[in-house]
């Protein structure tokens, strides 16, 4: 099993002075900064028993915001930076109802934070890709206007055309040489069937290691008889799973996924948007939630959560800032009051200092 305890360094301090733990930065591998109400007053939410209700509420809320995408995204991304996030993968809506406004807004916010935050943008067809005519063309256009990856959403249950959706996503990705990151909420054998299909397609396209599945709730049920074979297929395809350890949703057995070679990264998902009143944009909080929701007990369990939030995420997004960490003298690092990584995960303090390119940043 991988351990992560060498990825942080305790600084010797005089008696009576709190211990200083120096760590690499965090990676938020799945966040939606375009939808957030952060910095824009409180957003009240409607009951949403179905996924379709949540999606409809989301569009209604986005069209009703007083503050534009750039200002809300900037407020949330700045909050993330001050809490130690150095890289993020942002899923940003592309739809005929929104045009490329969200892509432009998040990219503008990212440009303002460029010295402190690496940002990948996934073009995300939240309101349907094939079922929302015109979205496919906008998705392709977004790749020339700030989007880095091609996203997707529940090809069968939301978009209503499993093979058409998968063809469209992989077709765009291959045509433009981009990676893929697909939301898949579907559970049970149907969700697992789609995951095996996506794994087959990943291998057929030669895209091993370049496809991520967001949420992938289907892999969180250990009772499903097809789970081991599905995880093997995902592992052989080098597929990633991005989990967000959300309160009401299932979480994966991290050890089981590791045994099958499925890599896991961690993200915030929606923060204070129409989908959820929760979220802080802090990956310290998020790794704590991952540990809590997965029943972390031993130091190794807690260190795994830290590793997923830092080095694993950095491998997924290719974060130079996080991957370059080599100890207390690294130019890009975080400093915390903590005795150890397990204590950091449980206590979830904010960083004392965020150091970028050798400078203590303040925003
Ligand atoms: Zn998401």
Q: What is the pLDDT of residues 302-328, one digit of tens each?
A: 999 999 999 999 999 999 999 999 999
Domains of the chain and any CATH numbers: 25-342 (3.20.20.140)
Q: Round to whole Å and give the CA distance between 149 and 140.
A: 10
Per-residue pLDDT at 10 exceeds 90: no
For residue range 183-208, what is the model confidence (pLDDT) as tens digits? 999 999 999 999 999 999 999 999 99
Residues with CB under 5 A from ligand 1 (ion): 269
> 90 with 269: CB under 8 angstroms?
no
Residues 6+ apart with CB under 8 A from 157: 51, 185, 186, 190
Whole-number Å distance, alpha carbon 214 to ligand 1 midpoint, is 7
Whole-number Å distance, alpha carbon 184 to ligand 1 midpoint, is 9
For residue range 86-123, what is the model confidence (pLDDT) as tens digits? 999 999 999 999 999 999 999 999 999 999 999 999 99
> 327 with 8: CB under 8 angstroms?
no
> 343 with 29: CB under 8 angstroms?
no
pTM: 0.96
Whole-number Å distance, alpha carbon 349 to ligand 1 midpoint, is 25
Residue 241 bridge partners (DSSP): 213, 264
Q: How confident is the model at residue 291 (pLDDT cuts 50, 70, 90)?
A: very high
Beta strands 333-337 and 353-356 are antiparallel
| Strands (E) located in the chain | 9-11, 20-23, 26-31, 85-93, 118-124, 149-153, 180-184, 211-215, 240-243, 263-266, 333-337, 353-356, 359-360
Whole-number Å distance, alpha carbon 91 to ligand 1 midpoint, is 7
Whole-number Å distance, alpha carbon 345 to ligand 1 midpoint, is 23
For residue range 224-271, what is the model confidence (pLDDT) as tens digits? 999 999 999 999 999 999 999 998 899 999 999 999 999 999 999 999
Q: For the chain, give me the number of helices (H) and strands (E)?
A: 13, 13
Report how far apart, in Å, the C-alpha atoms of 335 and of each of 28, 154, 234, 269, 282 are: 18, 40, 36, 25, 15
* Residue of 222, 180, 230 whose CA lies nearest to 200: 230
Report how far apart, in Å, the C-alpha atoms of 331 and of each of 65, 228, 324 are: 39, 42, 8
* Residue of 237, 209, 298, 285 whose CA lies nearest to 3: 298
- The pair of structure tokens assigned to 164 is 């058409």
3-state secondary structure labels for all residues of 9-62? EEECCCCCCCCEEEECCEEEEEECCCCCCCCCCCCCCCCCCCHHHHHHHHHHHH
Q: Round to whole Å and give the CA distance between 80 and 334.
A: 13
Whole-number Å distance, alpha carbon 243 to ligand 1 midpoint, is 9
Whole-number Å distance, alpha carbon 87 to ligand 1 midpoint, is 16
DSSP string over 79-112: HHHHTTEEEEEEEEE-BTTTBTHHHHHHHHHHHH
């Amino acid at each position: 099993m991988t351990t992560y305890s060498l990825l942080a360094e305790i600084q010797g301090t005089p008696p009576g002075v709190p211990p200083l733990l120096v760590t690499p930065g965090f990676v938020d591998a799945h966040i939606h900064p375009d939808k957030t109400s952060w910095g824009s007053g409180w957003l009240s939410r409607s009951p949403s028993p179905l996924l379709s209700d949540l999606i409809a509420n989301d569009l209604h809320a986005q069209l009703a915001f007083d503050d534009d995408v750039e200002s809300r995204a900037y407020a949330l991304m700045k909050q993330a930076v001050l809490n130690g996030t150095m890289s993020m993968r942002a899923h940003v809506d592309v739809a005929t109802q929104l045009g490329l406004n969200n892509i432009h807004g998040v990219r503008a916010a990212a440009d303002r934070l460029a010295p402190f935050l690496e940002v990948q943008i996934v073009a995300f067809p939240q309101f349907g890709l094939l079922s929302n005519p015109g979205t496919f063309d906008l998705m392709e256009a977004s790749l020339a206007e700030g989007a880095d990856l091609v996203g997707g959403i529940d090809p069968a249950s939301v978009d209503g055309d499993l093979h058409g959706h998968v063809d469209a996503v992989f077709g765009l990705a291959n045509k433009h040489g981009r990676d893929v990151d697909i939301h898949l909420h579907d559970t049970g054998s149907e969700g697992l069937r789609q995951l095996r299909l996506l794994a087959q397609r990943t291998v057929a396209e030669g895209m091993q290691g370049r496809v991520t599945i967001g949420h992938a709730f289907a892999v969180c049920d250990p009772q499903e008889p097809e789970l081991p074979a599905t995880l093997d297929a995902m592992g052989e395809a080098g597929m990633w799973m991005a989990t967000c350890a959300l309160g009401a949703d299932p979480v994966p057995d991290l050890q089981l996924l590791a045994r099958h070679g499925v890599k896991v990264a961690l993200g915030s998902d929606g923060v204070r948007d129409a989908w959820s009143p929760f979220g802080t944009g802090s990956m310290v909080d998020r790794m704590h939630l991952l540990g809590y929701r997965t029943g972390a007990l031993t130091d190794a369990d807690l260190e795994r959560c830290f590793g997923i939030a830092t080095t694993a995420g950095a491998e997924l997004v290719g974060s130079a800032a996080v991957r370059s960490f080599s100890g207390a003298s690294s130019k890009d690092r975080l400093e915390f009051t903590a005795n150890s990584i397990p204590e950091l995960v449980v206590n979830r303090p904010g960083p004392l200092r965020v150091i970028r390119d050798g400078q203590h940043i303040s925003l």
